């Protein structure tokens, strides 16, 4: 209820909770990447960054790296996922 001040329970019943969860997760990643940039710019020390933020940064980097990779070919010569 703190996240939706002034809203009634009836109003909250119509929320797409899965979409809200995805948006909140995207917000967490965005904030972690801002912290990562502060670290790269030497504006914050590594020991001041919580482990959970480092984990988010690491996970996001893995996702970005895998998105940059060329999809592997199947045995019939077709590209997977196409």
Domain ranges of the chain: 16-67
Cα 11 to Cα 74: distance, rounded to the nearest angstrom: 49
- Find where tokens 């893995």 sit: 62
Q: Is 0.75 topped by the overall pTM?
A: no
Statement: residue 36 has pLDDT above 70: yes
Of residues 23, 57, 21, 27, the one with CA closest to residue 39: 57
pLDDT in tens, 12-31: 888 899 999 999 999 999 99
Total Cβ atoms within 10 A of residue 57: 17
pLDDT in tens, 51-78: 999 999 999 999 988 887 766 666 666 6
Statement: residue 35 has pLDDT above 90: yes
**pLDDT of the residue at 73:** 64
């Amino acid at each position: 209820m703190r996240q939706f001040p002034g809203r009634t329970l009836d109003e909250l019943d119509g929320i797409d909770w899965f979409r809200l969860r995805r948006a909140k997760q995207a917000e967490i990643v965005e904030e972690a990447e801002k912290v990562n940039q502060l670290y790269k710019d030497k504006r914050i020390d590594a020991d001041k960054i919580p482990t959970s933020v480092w984990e988010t940064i690491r996970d996001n980097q893995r996702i970005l790296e895998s998105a940059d990779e060329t999809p592997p070919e199947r045995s019939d010569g077709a590209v997977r996922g196409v």
